[in-house]
Amino acid sequence: MPELIDLARAVAEQADSAAGEAVEAYVSRGRETSIRVYGGEIEQLASAESAGIGVRVVRDRRQGFAWVGALDDQGAREALAAARDNAAYATLDEHAGLARPDGVAPAELDLWREELAFLPTESKVELALDLERRVRAGDPRIRQVVSSDYADAMSESAIATSTGLASSSRRSTCYLFVYAIAGEGDETQTGFGYSVGRSSDDLDVETCSADAVERATRMLGARKPRSSHLTVVLDRRVTATVLGVLASTLSGEEVSKGRSLFAGRLGEEVGSSQLNLVDDPTDVRALGATAVDAEGLATRRNELIAGGSLLGYLYDSHAARVAGTKSTGSAVRGGYRTTPGVGARAVSLLPGTLSQEEIVKEVGDGLLVQSITGVHSGVNPVSGDFSVGAEGLIIKGGELAEPVREMTIASTLQRMLQHVRHVGSDLEWLPGSAAGLTLAIDDVSVAGE
């Protein structure tokens, strides 16, 4: 197998520099295993290798792109030729171009666990089976374990540009996921648990199973609440989801295109003074950590909100040129099939001092939100309108009380940031691009009966 970086370089070197052409090649290869068990047996076992190359060409200040789902010379030639042809059809863009070396050295991050590649399939199956057994045994009201999954991926990528960037990176990831149904009489409730890591040693079967059992069983007896305005306490998983959306509104590209509710608000107070928001892909605890961004620049720690004031936006090299600033190393891409765009990888709020239990006690009366649905359809990053389906537990007299479901919680992102009452101390890195912690927000509309 040739080194990915050599493949990428070989393509980038074909740039017709005399004609002012710049070429970028992004090459990736991954080996994945996924296992689903059901009823003590393997239901699915999939193993696969996939690879591909994406080529970006900028010529006469126009960009073209093409990809091929193969890693051979013919594929690379096909992609380069198509990208060149495609470039002719783009509108002239004075800011078009590839990233250039900016003198920032990539951090040394260890994101690869060789041993994961050698973990026998039997051990992976056993992890999933163990998880399923534990959930079934976790509570007599667990009626069904719909699926218990183990999956891992060993991923490598390389990027090279004719502008002088070349880097490669690799990472290993694995996870356990279980989906359980609890029942009592005619009633059914669901809950899931997961655990994620870079090697199987990081996986916590115990917590994963306990989470699924607790989340499913504690919803039994849930009713639809009355409509009201109250303080909501967002569970860690929920906060991470909300932060993911919030980070998308801080993309410098969206800002310059007039599609961000935070456009033109640099330096202004956009939230409670307790809010400190950072995107730091060099933090190895984050699952989205990476030393090099999707354009080949070093990633770095970017402070976005400090003490409630908006400090900055995220940029890739194009958005930075448009805004007259420098890239923050925030180019992301969804694999070899897409061009880079701006995105956060490792967003977190700096933790406060109170645990979830202490926050619940202090809030006194409110709602603990265990999960939300409809985020994609219900949160508008342009207008800030926020309305999502929710389930959780009523907080009464500082204690968790009866479960509630089939309701929505609604506000606007702008108002929610202003009304943050507590930031929890329980920071946890979760799958996706954000870390979770408990977050209490005042004056949120709950729609039920």
Partner 1 sequence: MAAAKEELQKSVMTLTEPSLVEPDVLERVLSSSLRHGGDFAEVFVEDRTTTGIALDDRRVEELSSGHDRGAGIRVVVGDTTGFAHTSDLSEAGLAAAAEAAAAVARQGGGGVRRVALELTTVRSPNEVLVLPSEVPKGTKVELLLRADDVARSKSNSIVQVSAGYGDTRRRIQVANSDGLLTGDDRVRTRFSVVCVASGDTGMQTGYETAALTVGFELFEQRSVEEVADEAARRAVTKLTARPAPAGVVPIVLRRGSGGMLFHEACGHGLEADHIVKDSSVFTGRIGEQVASPLVTLVDDGTAGPNWGSLAIDDEGHPAQRNVLIENGVLVDYMWDALSARKKRRASSGNGRRESYQDLPMVRMTNTFLLPGSEDPDEIVAATPRGVYIAHLGGGQVNTATGDFVFGMTEAYLIENGRITEPLRDANLIGNGPDVLGKIDAVANDFDMSPGTCGKDGQSVPVGCGQPTLRITGVTIGGTAGA
d(CA 290, CA 120): 27
Q: Do residues 230 and 393 make contact, with C-beta atoms less than 8 angstroms apart?
A: no
129 sits near partner 1 (criterion: CB under 8 A): no
Pairing of strands 166-184, 385-396: unpaired
In the window 69-98, what residues touch partner 1 (CB under 8 A)? Answer: 69-70, 75, 78, 82-83, 85-87, 89-91, 93
Closer of 44 and 355 to partner 1 (Cβ): 44
449 sits near partner 1 (criterion: CB under 8 A): yes
Tokens matching residue 365 = 């009366």
Question: For residue 25, what are the contacts with CB-CB under 8 A and spacing of at least 6?
Answer: 7, 8, 9, 10, 11, 12, 53, 54, 55, 56, 76, 159, 160, 161
Neighbours of 117 (CB within 10 A): 13
d(CA 435, CA 246): 13
In the window 194-253, what residues touch partner 1 (CB under 8 A)? Answer: 224, 227
408 sits near partner 1 (criterion: CB under 8 A): yes
Kindly tell me which residue out of 141, 143, 265, 301 binds partner 1, with binding defined by CB under 8 A.
143
311 sits near partner 1 (criterion: CB under 8 A): no
Closer of 257 and 285 to partner 1 (Cβ): 257
d(CA 274, CA 12): 46
38 sits near partner 1 (criterion: CB under 8 A): yes
d(CA 393, CA 356): 13
Least Å distance, CB 291 to partner 1, is: 27
446 sits near partner 1 (criterion: CB under 8 A): yes
Kindly tell me which residue out of 411, 418, 433, 438 binds partner 1, with binding defined by CB under 8 A.
411
Candidates 9-17, 33-41, 243-251, 303-311: pick the segment binding partner 1 (CB under 8 A).
33-41
Closer of 67 and 429 to partner 1 (Cβ): 67
Tokens matching residue 179 = 């989906």
373 sits near partner 1 (criterion: CB under 8 A): yes
Coil, strand or helix at 70: coil
189 sits near partner 1 (criterion: CB under 8 A): yes
Least Å distance, CB 447 to partner 1, is: 4
323 sits near partner 1 (criterion: CB under 8 A): no
